[in-house]
Amino acid sequence: EVQLVESGGGLVQPEGSLRLSCAASGFTLSSYAMTWVRQAPGKGLEWLAYTSSSGRTTYYADSVRGRFTVSRDNAKNSVYLQMNSLRVEDTAVYFCARDGEVSSDYWGQGTLVTVAS
Amino acid sequence: IVLTQSPATLSLSLGGRATLSCRASQSVSTYIAWYQQRPGQAPRLLIYDASTRATGVPARFSGSGSGTDFTLTISSLEPEDFAVYYCQQRFNWPSTFGPGTKVDV
Protein backbone atom coordinates (compact mmCIF):
# COMPACT_ATOMS: atom_id res chain seq x y z
CA GLU A 1 0.00 0.00 0.00
CA VAL A 2 1.35 3.40 -0.99
CA GLN A 3 1.75 5.68 2.01
CA LEU A 4 3.06 9.21 2.34
CA VAL A 5 3.45 10.74 5.78
CA GLU A 6 4.42 14.38 6.24
CA SER A 7 6.05 15.67 9.40
CA GLY A 8 7.92 18.70 10.68
CA GLY A 9 5.12 21.23 10.77
CA GLY A 10 4.49 23.53 13.69
CA LEU A 11 4.54 27.12 14.87
CA VAL A 12 7.35 29.35 13.63
CA GLN A 13 7.97 33.08 13.80
CA PRO A 14 8.05 35.27 10.70
CA GLU A 15 11.46 35.14 8.98
CA GLY A 16 12.06 31.76 10.60
CA SER A 17 12.83 28.41 8.97
CA LEU A 18 11.30 24.98 9.00
CA ARG A 19 12.09 21.69 7.29
CA LEU A 20 9.25 19.40 6.31
CA SER A 21 9.75 15.70 5.66
CA CYS A 22 7.69 13.25 3.65
CA ALA A 23 8.25 9.57 4.42
CA ALA A 24 7.31 7.27 1.55
CA SER A 25 6.49 3.57 1.74
CA GLY A 26 4.78 0.92 -0.36
CA PHE A 27 6.58 1.87 -3.60
CA THR A 28 10.05 2.51 -4.95
CA LEU A 29 10.63 6.21 -4.29
CA SER A 30 13.56 6.42 -6.70
CA SER A 31 11.20 5.65 -9.60
CA TYR A 32 8.90 8.62 -9.00
CA ALA A 33 8.93 12.38 -9.13
CA MET A 34 7.40 14.07 -6.11
CA THR A 35 5.48 17.28 -5.51
CA TRP A 36 4.64 19.61 -2.63
CA VAL A 37 1.28 21.39 -2.51
CA ARG A 38 -0.16 23.59 0.21
CA GLN A 39 -3.58 24.77 1.31
CA ALA A 40 -4.08 27.89 3.41
CA PRO A 41 -6.95 27.73 5.92
CA GLY A 42 -10.26 27.80 4.06
CA LYS A 43 -8.54 28.29 0.70
CA GLY A 44 -7.78 26.25 -2.40
CA LEU A 45 -4.78 24.18 -3.39
CA GLU A 46 -1.51 25.86 -4.33
CA TRP A 47 1.18 23.91 -6.17
CA LEU A 48 4.63 24.65 -4.71
CA ALA A 49 7.47 22.47 -5.89
CA TYR A 50 8.50 19.45 -7.93
CA THR A 51 11.52 17.16 -7.79
CA SER A 52 12.34 14.61 -10.45
CA SER A 53 12.95 10.99 -9.46
CA SER A 54 16.70 11.58 -9.20
CA GLY A 55 16.40 15.02 -7.65
CA ARG A 56 18.43 16.61 -10.42
CA THR A 57 15.49 18.60 -11.78
CA THR A 58 13.35 20.87 -9.63
CA TYR A 59 10.67 23.46 -10.29
CA TYR A 60 9.05 26.00 -7.99
CA ALA A 61 6.06 28.30 -7.80
CA ASP A 62 6.92 31.98 -8.08
CA SER A 63 5.60 32.54 -4.55
CA VAL A 64 8.29 30.34 -2.96
CA ARG A 65 11.19 30.36 -5.42
CA GLY A 66 14.35 31.48 -3.67
CA ARG A 67 12.90 30.77 -0.21
CA PHE A 68 11.92 27.08 -0.40
CA THR A 69 14.08 24.17 -1.52
CA VAL A 70 12.88 20.67 -2.35
CA SER A 71 15.26 17.76 -1.95
CA ARG A 72 15.14 14.01 -1.56
CA ASP A 73 17.06 11.06 -0.19
CA ASN A 74 15.89 8.00 -2.06
CA ALA A 75 17.98 5.73 0.15
CA LYS A 76 16.01 6.98 3.15
CA ASN A 77 12.69 6.95 1.26
CA SER A 78 12.20 10.60 2.08
CA VAL A 79 11.48 13.91 0.40
CA TYR A 80 12.07 17.26 2.08
CA LEU A 81 10.93 20.86 1.83
CA GLN A 82 13.28 23.38 3.40
CA MET A 83 11.38 26.60 4.04
CA ASN A 84 13.29 29.79 4.84
CA SER A 85 12.25 33.41 5.34
CA LEU A 86 8.77 32.29 6.28
CA ARG A 87 5.90 34.76 6.06
CA VAL A 88 2.50 34.89 7.71
CA GLU A 89 0.98 34.05 4.34
CA ASP A 90 2.89 30.74 4.27
CA THR A 91 0.53 29.46 6.98
CA ALA A 92 -1.08 26.36 5.48
CA VAL A 93 -1.37 22.61 5.47
CA TYR A 94 1.49 21.21 3.40
CA PHE A 95 0.95 18.04 1.39
CA CYS A 96 3.46 15.86 -0.38
CA ALA A 97 2.27 13.82 -3.34
CA ARG A 98 3.63 11.18 -5.68
CA ASP A 99 3.80 12.27 -9.28
CA GLY A 100 2.69 10.45 -12.37
CA GLU A 101 3.27 11.85 -15.84
CA VAL A 102 0.52 14.44 -15.69
CA SER A 103 -0.94 14.24 -12.21
CA SER A 104 -0.32 13.47 -8.54
CA ASP A 105 -1.76 10.07 -7.82
CA TYR A 106 -1.13 9.59 -4.08
CA TRP A 107 -1.17 12.22 -1.39
CA GLY A 108 -0.20 12.37 2.26
CA GLN A 109 -2.56 13.73 4.92
CA GLY A 110 -0.57 16.93 5.32
CA THR A 111 1.25 18.78 8.06
CA LEU A 112 0.21 22.18 9.40
CA VAL A 113 2.64 25.08 9.35
CA THR A 114 1.66 28.21 11.27
CA VAL A 115 3.73 31.36 10.86
CA ALA A 116 2.95 33.86 13.60
CA SER A 117 4.65 35.98 16.21
CA ILE B 1 -1.15 29.44 -16.89
CA VAL B 2 -4.28 30.57 -15.05
CA LEU B 3 -7.14 28.12 -14.59
CA THR B 4 -10.68 29.37 -14.05
CA GLN B 5 -13.36 27.07 -12.67
CA SER B 6 -17.09 27.58 -12.86
CA PRO B 7 -19.39 27.71 -11.14
CA ALA B 8 -17.82 28.44 -7.76
CA THR B 9 -20.64 26.50 -6.09
CA LEU B 10 -23.01 23.96 -7.57
CA SER B 11 -26.08 23.04 -5.55
CA LEU B 12 -27.64 19.78 -6.61
CA SER B 13 -29.67 16.88 -5.26
CA LEU B 14 -28.76 13.25 -4.78
CA GLY B 15 -28.97 11.53 -8.14
CA GLY B 16 -28.49 14.79 -9.99
CA ARG B 17 -26.01 15.40 -12.79
CA ALA B 18 -23.05 17.71 -12.09
CA THR B 19 -21.19 19.51 -14.85
CA LEU B 20 -18.04 21.36 -13.74
CA SER B 21 -16.01 23.58 -16.03
CA CYS B 22 -12.31 24.38 -16.08
CA ARG B 23 -10.90 26.93 -18.53
CA ALA B 24 -7.19 27.58 -19.14
CA SER B 25 -5.71 30.95 -20.10
CA GLN B 26 -3.82 29.22 -22.93
CA SER B 27 -3.85 25.82 -24.52
CA VAL B 28 -2.75 22.98 -22.23
CA SER B 29 -3.43 20.20 -24.74
CA THR B 30 -4.93 17.45 -22.56
CA TYR B 31 -2.59 17.98 -19.59
CA ILE B 32 -5.43 18.45 -17.13
CA ALA B 33 -6.14 16.50 -13.98
CA TRP B 34 -9.17 16.65 -11.71
CA TYR B 35 -9.11 16.10 -7.94
CA GLN B 36 -11.80 15.69 -5.32
CA GLN B 37 -11.30 16.99 -1.79
CA ARG B 38 -13.65 16.22 1.05
CA PRO B 39 -13.51 18.30 4.26
CA GLY B 40 -10.48 17.49 6.38
CA GLN B 41 -9.05 15.11 3.80
CA ALA B 42 -6.24 15.16 1.30
CA PRO B 43 -7.09 15.60 -2.38
CA ARG B 44 -7.87 12.46 -4.35
CA LEU B 45 -7.00 12.05 -8.02
CA LEU B 46 -10.09 11.42 -10.17
CA ILE B 47 -9.12 12.10 -13.77
CA TYR B 48 -5.79 12.60 -15.55
CA ASP B 49 -4.90 13.40 -19.12
CA ALA B 50 -8.28 15.18 -19.30
CA SER B 51 -10.38 12.04 -19.67
CA THR B 52 -8.69 8.99 -18.09
CA ARG B 53 -10.17 7.81 -14.82
CA ALA B 54 -7.68 7.04 -12.08
CA THR B 55 -7.59 3.61 -10.52
CA GLY B 56 -10.67 2.85 -8.44
CA VAL B 57 -12.66 5.90 -9.54
CA PRO B 58 -16.31 5.07 -10.24
CA ALA B 59 -17.59 5.22 -13.80
CA ARG B 60 -20.04 8.01 -12.91
CA PHE B 61 -17.05 10.38 -13.08
CA SER B 62 -15.98 11.40 -16.57
CA GLY B 63 -13.74 14.07 -18.02
CA SER B 64 -13.57 15.68 -21.43
CA GLY B 65 -11.99 18.52 -23.31
CA SER B 66 -8.74 19.66 -24.86
CA GLY B 67 -6.97 22.92 -25.52
CA THR B 68 -8.49 25.46 -23.14
CA ASP B 69 -11.90 24.07 -22.16
CA PHE B 70 -12.44 21.06 -19.93
CA THR B 71 -15.39 19.47 -18.21
CA LEU B 72 -15.79 17.08 -15.29
CA THR B 73 -19.16 15.34 -15.23
CA ILE B 74 -20.66 13.35 -12.39
CA SER B 75 -23.57 11.49 -13.92
CA SER B 76 -25.57 10.70 -10.77
CA LEU B 77 -24.51 12.24 -7.47
CA GLU B 78 -23.92 9.94 -4.52
CA PRO B 79 -23.69 11.27 -0.92
CA GLU B 80 -19.89 10.95 -0.91
CA ASP B 81 -19.60 13.13 -4.03
CA PHE B 82 -20.48 16.34 -2.22
CA ALA B 83 -17.03 17.90 -2.02
CA VAL B 84 -14.73 20.45 -3.65
CA TYR B 85 -13.28 19.68 -7.08
CA TYR B 86 -10.06 21.15 -8.44
CA CYS B 87 -8.53 21.05 -11.89
CA GLN B 88 -4.76 21.21 -12.37
CA GLN B 89 -2.64 21.83 -15.44
CA ARG B 90 0.61 20.01 -16.02
CA PHE B 91 1.32 21.42 -19.47
CA ASN B 92 4.17 23.57 -18.27
CA TRP B 93 5.93 24.73 -15.12
CA PRO B 94 4.91 25.99 -12.71
CA SER B 95 1.93 23.72 -12.49
CA THR B 96 -1.24 25.47 -11.33
CA PHE B 97 -4.59 24.61 -9.80
CA GLY B 98 -7.95 26.18 -10.43
CA PRO B 99 -9.78 27.83 -7.51
CA GLY B 100 -12.17 24.90 -7.13
CA THR B 101 -15.88 24.18 -7.47
CA LYS B 102 -17.85 23.19 -4.40
CA VAL B 103 -20.63 20.69 -5.02
CA ASP B 104 -23.15 20.81 -2.22
CA VAL B 105 -26.67 19.69 -1.48
Q: What is the largest CA-CA distance in chain A?
A: 40
- The alpha-carbon gap from B87 to the nearest alpha carbon of chain A, in Å, equals 10
The span from the CA of A98 to the CA of B45, in Å, is 11
Q: How many CB pairs under 8 A join A and B?
A: 67
- Cβ(B53)–Cβ(B42) below 8 Å: no
Q: pLDDT tens digits, residue range B8-31?
A: 999 999 999 999 999 999 999 999
Q: pLDDT tens digits, residue range B70-81?
A: 999 999 999 999
Contacting residues of B for A61, CB less than 8 Å apart: 94
SS3 content of chain B, % helix, strand, coil (to 5): 5, 50, 50
Q: Do B48 and A60 touch (CB under 8 A)?
A: no
Q: pLDDT tens digits, residue range A1-45?
A: 999 999 999 999 999 999 999 999 999 999 999 999 999 999 999
Using the CB atoms, write b or e for B63-95: b if 16+ within 10 Å: bebeebebbbebeebeeebbbbbbbbbbbeebb
Amino acid of residue B84:
V
Contacting residues of A for B37, CB less than 8 Å apart: 45
Contacting residues of B for A50, CB less than 8 Å apart: 93, 95
Q: What is the pLDDT of residue B32?
A: 97
Residue B65, phi-psi category: left (phi > 0), alpha (psi -120 to 50), beta (remainder): left
Instruction: Find which of A35, A45, A48, A101 to mutate to test the B interface (most B CBs within 10 Å of its CB).
Output: A45
Amino acid of residue B57:
V
Q: Compare all CA atoms of chain A with the CA of B39 and give the residue at the minimum distance.
A: A42
Q: What is the pLDDT of residue A100?
A: 83
Q: Which of A60, A100, A103 sits opposite B94 (nearest CB)?
A: A60
Contacting residues of A for B96, CB less than 8 Å apart: 47
